[in-house]
Amino acid sequence: MQMCASNYRYIESYVAKWIVAMLNNENSCLEYLKDLFIAMKSFYHPSNTGKFQVNLVKFVLNLAEYLVERVHL
């Protein structure tokens, strides 16, 4: 059985907001976020281009936006 990537589409802003909402001092969410950034690092190499870059940029921008929004509350 082959899985199609279009079956698993997530809106970047919802995922980013959920991750920021999970951040606190009592869980390991920061460690998982660090692992996610390490995994995403190779996708930002100049030789690695594709349609996926738009979604990755949106995700990182939304993540930063929600984090700043949460800190300023």
The pLDDT tens digits of the residues spanning 26-38 come to 888 889 999 999 9
Determine the pLDDT at residue 49.
81
Task: pLDDT band for 8, please (50, 70, 90 cuts).
Answer: low
| Domain range summary for the chain, segments of one domain joined by + | 5-71
Among the residues of the chain, which ranges form H helices?
12-22, 29-40, 52-71
Residue with the bigger pLDDT between 46 and 19: it is 19
Query: For the chain, what is the mean pLDDT?
Result: 83
Averaged over 17-43, what is the pLDDT? 88
Distance separating alpha carbons of residues 27 and 65, to the nearest angstrom: 22
